[in-house]
Amino acid sequence: MLAYAIMSNHRENMITDFRRKSLIATRIGFIGLLSLASASPQAAQPEKPPMADNVFKNIRVLRGLTVDQFMGTMGFIAAALSMNCSECHDTSSTAAFALDNPRKEKTRQMIAMVNAFNKGYFGGKREVTCYSCHRGDTRPRVTPRLADQYGTPPPSDPNDVEIREKPSPNTPSADQVLDKYIQALGGAQRLASLTSFVGRGTYEGFDTQGEKVPVDVYAKAPNQLTTVVHLQSGDNIRTCDGRNFWTTSAGTFLPLPVLVMTGGELEGAKLDAALSFPAQIKQSLKDWRTGFPSTTIDDNEVEVVQGTNAQNTPVKFYFDKKSGLLLRQVRFTDTPIGLNPTQIDYADYRDVSGVKVPFHWTVTWTDGQSTTELTSVQPNVTIEAAKFARPAPSAPRTP
């Protein structure tokens, strides 16, 4: 994800074939298992997030955003045009990164154009975005393509399914689908008995240039989780204490060693943690809906259920019709110029003290993809409180 224009310390690490069309990471957030939806009474008060205007230089149009909102906006632009940071910024140094060039000036003009279009024709509602015209190309197409019109249509994307008409009377309710999911995991009683866990395994993603590195996951109900990715440049730590969500920035040009994440990133973190202790999944969102058209994921028929988070953006869950287990989650983070989707695919469910836990998940967002594979999960272990405190800046690891 992401948005999450974070650059590596070496230019050669910035452009990588790891992601489709060389999109590099422009946000810091690692979407994994994070915090539960409800905050504990002991949780610290929310920390004031840094503003992009005070952290970065030469911001002219996208002013008044927090750093993570600004990163998400950069990620949206990169995804809409299938470009990477180095195609708009001079990555030779931190100072050069902020300098103007014709492409940056054109981007500012395009943002103003889209804002004026939405204001003039849609009453200010965001109906048109960069992606509406660019669709992954630097130049919008202006002439119909006969190959598109008469050729073989691309496969349908299950993420695009929407409710088109009133569901049939036989459509299962959201409660029924979610109850089946809880039962498939082991039942409400066994889920309630899992109050903490420590997971260890490997992680690979945009920040590792495709190499697998060790990862540790510390989770404690109801709302605490820390993920530690062991990079050679230092440990990247993501921590949620129930109110705050922090991430460190080892191996990047970001002038903030620890960043406070907000808005949709924080809401997404809470939701992911709710799926770590899913007994309260029904309470994690509102306005649950079913009745989506039939669709499949990897040839598996799925039941689609949608809820709405505190940011009033939709979240879709795709449950295997046979097993009842969750195969995919799709959610969105709102940016000033459009919604950034995040897709999480779950696999390799294993029994941990009578509860089925996914040992493999892949996170795909506008800026890249990461995969976590656990090799072990220790349930109901004592985890010291310091694991869930504001992380200290990471020091480089010894080779």
Write down the domain spans for the chain.
1-142+171-399
Q: Please give the pLDDT value at position 371.
A: 96
Q: Please give the pLDDT value at position 269.
A: 85
Q: Please give the pLDDT value at position 45.
A: 67
Q: Please give the pLDDT value at position 394.
A: 64
- Tell me if 37 sits within 8 A of 283, measured CB to CB: yes
Q: Which run of H or of E encompasses 265? A: helix 263-276
Torsion sign across C-alpha atoms 8, 14, 16, 19: positive
Q: Quick one: which of 386, 185, 349, 378 has its CA closest to 277? A: 185
1-142+171-399 classified as CATH 2.60.120.10: no
Query: What is this structure's pTM?
Result: 0.84
Beta carbons within 8 Å of 275's beta carbon, 6+ residues apart = 33, 281, 326, 329
Q: Please give the pLDDT value at position 253.
A: 62
- Tell me if 238 sits within 8 A of 216, measured CB to CB: no
Residue 201, Cβ density class (10 Å: 0-12 exposed, 13-18 middle, ≥19 buried) = middle
Q: Please give the pLDDT value at position 282.
A: 94
Report the half-sphere exposure of 205 (CA within 13 A, side-chain side): 32
333 forms beta bridges with 340
Q: Quick one: which of 323, 388, 88, 357 has its CA closest to 199? A: 357
* pLDDT tens-digit series, residues 31-78: 333 333 333 444 456 788 889 999 899 999 999 999 989 989 998 999
Q: Please give the pLDDT value at position 40.
A: 40
What residues of the chain score a pLDDT lower than 70? 1-45, 165, 251-254, 394-399
Q: Quick one: which of 188, 169, 167 has its CA closest to 178? A: 188
Beta carbons within 8 Å of 312's beta carbon, 6+ residues apart = none
User: Residue for token digits 């405190």?
Assistant: 389
Beta carbons within 8 Å of 39's beta carbon, 6+ residues apart = 223, 242, 243
| Distance (Å, whole) CA 200 – CA 349 | 15
Q: Please give the pLDDT value at position 29.
A: 36
303: its two tokens: 């039941």
Q: Where are the beta strands (DSSP E) in the chain?
A: 196-204, 213-220, 224-231, 234-240, 245-248, 258-260, 286-289, 295-297, 300-308, 314-320, 326-335, 338-352, 355-365, 368-379
